[in-house]
Amino acid sequence: MAGSDFERWAKEIEGQGFPPVLLISGDKDPDFNLEMVSRTLEILKEKEIDVTLLHYRNAGHEHRPEWSQVIFDWIEKNL
């Protein structure tokens, strides 16, 4: 999903009954920069969707093993 598609997705979803959302962002991500992720976060919050942002410094568009526990803990708590 491209960045512009990500924002469009957030604008089109219905808020009521939507499951919690976890956004993961790196400040060196060329596809999903922090400004775009922040706008998406605000769109979701305006729809009263439970949304969490994990922002990592010096990270791009990848998954790092050291993030796994934080992600698994969020999933266990929220879903």
Output the pLDDT for position 4. Answer: 67
Report the percentage of the chain scoring pLDDT > 70: 95
Average pLDDT over residues 26-49: 92
Output the pLDDT for position 15. Answer: 81
Nearest by Cα to 54 from 11, 79, 46, 64 = 64
Assess contact for 43 and 10: CB atoms under 8 A: yes
Output the pLDDT for position 6. Answer: 81
Does the pLDDT of residue 44 top 70, yes or no? yes
Output the pLDDT for position 31. Answer: 86
Question: CA 34, CA 1: separation in Å to the nearest integer?
Answer: 16
Assess contact for 40 and 7: CB atoms under 8 A: yes
Residue 23 DSSP one-character state = E
